[in-house]
Amino acid sequence: MDYVAALVPPVVMAVAFTALVVTIVKSQGGANKAKEDAIVDAALARAEAARQQTTEGGATA
């Protein structure tokens, strides 16, 4: 019975990892992709604007 106790944790972890990968793959794309892309683009634009504002204000980067 020691072999069963030794095999259970790796099997449980393999199943959990497979479920995680499937969830990640399924969440890519779909109806919300454009909305998610727009949110990321807006955040990057704000970060770029803030960086340019600090360098134009005389601060050293």
**30 φ, ψ (degrees, to nearest 5):** 85, -165
**Among 29, 8, 11, 9, CA closest to 19:** 11
pLDDT tens readout for residues 21-51:
999 888 887 777 888 888 999 999 999 999 8
pLDDT over 60 at 54, yes or no:
yes
Total Cβ atoms within 10 A of residue 36: 13
Of the pLDDT bands very low, low, confident and very high (cuts 50, 70, 90), residue 59 is low
The answer to whether residues 54 and 61 touch, using CB atoms and an 8 Å cutoff, is yes
Q: Which two tokens stand for residue 59?
A: 């601060």
pLDDT over 70 at 61, yes or no:
no
Place of tokens 């990321």: 40
Of the pLDDT bands very low, low, confident and very high (cuts 50, 70, 90), residue 1 is confident
Q: What is the pTM of this model?
A: 0.47
